[in-house]
């Protein structure tokens, strides 16, 4: 796979070099160097502020597209080509896990970072169980929004979960002003909006996101209005924001998850407790608590499921490996424990329904 990427990178570089003006000093341009790339664009009369994909896509000139594609592919290759090199033992990759690697209580992972292996490119398909075994994967569906509903005690949000609804779909429909289906790209984009607004994103950023992802153009005041409209759908979220704002004014740097685990947030540019961190920390942190509670209970019960092997976790997801014939039992065990953890920590049965856990059994980590 990396060999194919290699070829693709080489041809994309050639293409970009052909379109580009000659380099005044070197043989060819280094498109990985923002300074050089900006200089090349400047020679054809384009002053570009940065080399982000999203920015390059605004330009008509073929060089913009060529450079963007080259950088994308090159970046993917870099991330993946050395991913597991020299990190095998017995046919397995053994990353370094840091159980409390993140300030919120999440785990992090290095060498390699398993948690950021790209999706949808086939790389996760390379993560496979041993002969005659399967991977059993379970994830906490929309966990941060469930935590949010519990923390803010928002009746409308709870109602959506109680009826098995989909918050992202609601938001997507509100933004697109039409019916949106589960597989539509609008839903994916609405996730970002939901998270953004929940954790204190401003109208400006919200406006930019709406433009970029929905081709919805609005003035700043219209963006403010839309933001309020979405927050109005869940009034207690707004109240919660107001409460946390007061805590910031009072100089309260301490946040707590629903399990009572503390985090001291960073100061903002004024030296006051960061408002957005105060909002995010208990939510991300409680979700992390839930996953870890579940992991602890898996361990406590492990003697009855010794064939099951923990493979990895990714913040709201647990992957186990077991013998193919044990898949059903293992899947039930895993999802039951995750569901119990959600219910025990959040204290709302409607947040821990059947749909709170999505379980799949597969021959690889891909999808």
Partner DNA sequence: AACCGATGCGCG
Partner DNA sequence: AAAGCGCGCATCGGTT
Residues that bind DNA (CB under 7 A): 30, 32-36, 50-54, 71-72, 75-76, 78-79, 82, 98, 101-104, 106, 108-113, 115-120, 139, 192, 195-196, 199-205, 224, 241, 245, 248-249, 265-266, 268, 274-277, 280-281, 284, 314-317
Using alpha carbons, list the distances in angstroms from residue 294 to 51, 140, 301, 308.
42, 11, 11, 15
Given a contact cutoff of 8 angstroms between Cβ atoms, the answer to whether 171 and 251 are in contact is: no
Q: Which is nearer to DNA, 242 or 306 (CB)?
A: 242
Question: φ, ψ for residue 363 (rounded to 5)?
Answer: -80, -5
Q: State the minimum distance, in angstroms, from the CB of residue 282 to DNA.
A: 11
Question: φ, ψ for residue 138 (rounded to 5)?
Answer: -135, 135
Q: State the minimum distance, in angstroms, from the CB of residue 59 to DNA.
A: 14
Residues 6+ apart with CB under 8 A from 189: 172, 209, 213, 214
Spatial separation of the C-alpha atoms in residues 187 and 264, rounded to whole Å: 33
Task: Decide: helix, strand or coil at residue 96.
Answer: strand
Q: Which is nearer to DNA, 178 or 250 (CB)?
A: 250
Q: State the minimum distance, in angstroms, from the CB of residue 75 to DNA.
A: 5
Closest Cα to residue 136, out of 296, 333, 287? Answer: 333
Q: Which is nearer to DNA, 158 or 281 (CB)?
A: 281
Q: Which is nearer to DNA, 58 or 178 (CB)?
A: 58
Q: Which is nearer to DNA, 11 or 30 (CB)?
A: 30
Residue 124 token pair: 């996760």
CA within 13 Å, CB half, 133: 19
Q: State the minimum distance, in angstroms, from the CB of residue 190 to DNA.
A: 12
Q: Which is nearer to DNA, 262 or 328 (CB)?
A: 262
Q: State the minimum distance, in angstroms, from the CB of residue 106 to DNA.
A: 6
Spatial separation of the C-alpha atoms in residues 144 and 125, rounded to whole Å: 27
Spatial separation of the C-alpha atoms in residues 137 and 116, rounded to whole Å: 17
Q: State the minimum distance, in angstroms, from the CB of residue 132 to DNA.
A: 27
Residues 6+ apart with CB under 8 A from 52: none
Q: State the minimum distance, in angstroms, from the CB of residue 175 to DNA.
A: 15
Q: Which is nearer to DNA, 82 or 159 (CB)?
A: 82
């Amino acid at each position: 796979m990396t060999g194919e990427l290699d070829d693709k990178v080489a041809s994309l570089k050639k293409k970009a070099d052909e379109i580009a003006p000659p380099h005044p000093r070197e043989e060819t341009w280094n498109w990985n160097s923002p300074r050089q790339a900006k200089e090349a664009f400047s020679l054809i009369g384009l002053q570009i502020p940065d080399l982000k994909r999203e920015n390059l896509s605004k330009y008509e000139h073929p060089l913009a597209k060529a450079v963007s594609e080259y950088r994308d592919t090159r970046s993917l290759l870099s991330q993946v080509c050395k991913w597991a090199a020299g990190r095998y033992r017995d046919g397995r990759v053994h990353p370094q896990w840091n159980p409390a690697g993140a300030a919120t209580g999440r785990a992090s992972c290095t060498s390699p970072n398993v948690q950021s292996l790209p999706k949808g490119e086939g790389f996760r398909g390379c993560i496979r169980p041993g002969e005659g075994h399967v991977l059993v994967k379970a994830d906490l569906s929309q966990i941060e929004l469930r935590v949010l509903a519990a923390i803010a005690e928002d009746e409308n949000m709870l109602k959506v979960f109680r009826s098995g609804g989909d918050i992202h779909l609601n938001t997507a429909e509100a933004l697109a002003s039409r019916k949106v289906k589960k597989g539509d790209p609008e839903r994916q984009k609405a996730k970002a909006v939901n998270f953004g607004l929940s954790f204190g994103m401003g109208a400006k950023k919200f406006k930019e996101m709406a433009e970029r992802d929905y081709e919805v153009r609005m003035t700043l005041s219209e963006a403010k209005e839309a933001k309020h409209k979405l927050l109005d759908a869940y009034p207690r979220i707004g109240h919660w924001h107001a409460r946390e704002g007061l805590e910031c004014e009072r100089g309260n740097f301490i946040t707590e998850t629903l399990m009572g685990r503390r985090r001291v947030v960073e100061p903002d540019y004024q030296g006051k407790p960061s408002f957005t961190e105060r909002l995010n920390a208990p939510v991300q942190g409680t979700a992390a608590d839930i996953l870890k509670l579940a992991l602890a209970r898996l361990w406590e019960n492990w003697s009855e499921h010794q064939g099951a092997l923990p493979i990895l976790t990714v913040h709201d997801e647990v992957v186990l490996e077991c013998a193919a014939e044990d898949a059903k039992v293992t899947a039930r065990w895993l999802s039951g424990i995750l569901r119990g953890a959600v219910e025990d920590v959040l204290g709302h049965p409607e947040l821990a329904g059947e749909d709170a856990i999505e379980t799949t059994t597969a021959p690889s980590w891909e999808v």
